[in-house]
A and B are shown apart, each in its own frame.
Chain A
Amino acid sequence: AQSVTQLGSHVSVSEGALVLLRCNYSSSVPPYLFWYVQYPNQGLQLLLKYTSAATLVKGINGFEAEFKKSETSFHLTKPSAHMSDAAEYFCAVSDGSSNTGKLIFGQGTTLQVKP
């Protein structure tokens, strides 16, 4: 069965600093992996996704993630944090065993950006 672990429920960085949000997955089949962002009182917005093409995936708002099969990781990075990046971030894997595409989410990481 697929699962996702996000290391660190809260991450705090200074404005302009590197953002690194960690995600490890478990999957018995080649995974589809996603990062979503959720701003307060809003739904989820896709940042980027990996669907077995390039292992380095670029997304919106300057975010990118690298798929590393050997480490079963899909960490999210951004070189320089902005105040507007403060939000909750979810890593998800698409359930490849059921052919439904339903998403299995990590517990989420709240990103705080300090001025």
Chain B
Amino acid sequence: GAGVSQSPSNKVTEKGKDVELRCDPISGHTALYWYRQSLGQGLEFLIYFQGNSAPDKSGLPSDRFSAERTGGSVSTLTIQRTQQEDSAVYLCASRGTGVGNTQYFGPGTRLTVL
């Protein structure tokens, strides 16, 4: 596609439920990132995928968060047993080869946990 797409754009869930957020990166981009944007914490890195290498999960806030990337393309971020503090906008970004290259961001998924 022309850019990074994310779905759903909005998700409202009840505390304790599991949610899945999807990211479709720009075709051909080998690197994919998830970030979280919240009022209290600003923009923070969650996880990074590069090709077939093991992901960098150092930003995941708890073991309730996990992510996978299938076939080197689409990625899914899963949050289990959601808590109210998980409410935030989850942003996905992808980039081509080279750490100095631009990361292109999707529009985000706004998650609200009631």
**Chain A residues within CB distance 8 Å of chain B:** 32, 34, 36, 41-46, 49, 51-52, 90, 92, 94-96, 98-108
* Further contacts, 13 of them, CB under 8 A, given A101-B48, A102-B59: A32-B100, A42-B107, A43-B106, A43-B108, A44-B91, A46-B103, A49-B102, A98-B58, A101-B103, A103-B103, A104-B45, A105-B42, A105-B44
Q: CA of A106 to CA of B43 in the docked complex: distance in angstroms?
A: 8
Whether, in the assembled complex, B65 has its beta carbon less than 8 Å from a beta carbon of chain A, the answer is no
**Pairs A–B under 8 Å by Cβ, sample size 30:** A32-B100, A34-B103, A36-B105, A42-B107, A42-B108, A43-B4, A43-B91, A43-B107, A44-B91, A44-B93, A45-B105, A46-B102, A46-B103, A51-B100, A94-B99, A95-B45, A96-B99, A98-B56, A100-B48, A100-B56, A100-B99, A101-B31, A101-B95, A101-B98, A101-B100, A102-B33, A102-B56, A103-B45, A104-B45, A106-B42
**Chain A residues, Cβ within 8 Å of B35:** 103
Interchain pairs with CB closer than 8 A, number = 64
**Chain A residues, Cβ within 8 Å of B42:** 105-108
Q: Is the CB of B102 within 8 A of A108?
A: no
Interface centre among B91, B104, B105 (most CB of A within 10 A): B105
By secondary structure, the B interface counts as: strand
Whether, in the assembled complex, B66 has its beta carbon less than 8 Å from a beta carbon of chain A, the answer is no
Q: Is the CB of A102 within 8 A of B100?
A: no
**Chain A residues, Cβ within 8 Å of B43:** 90, 92, 103, 105, 108
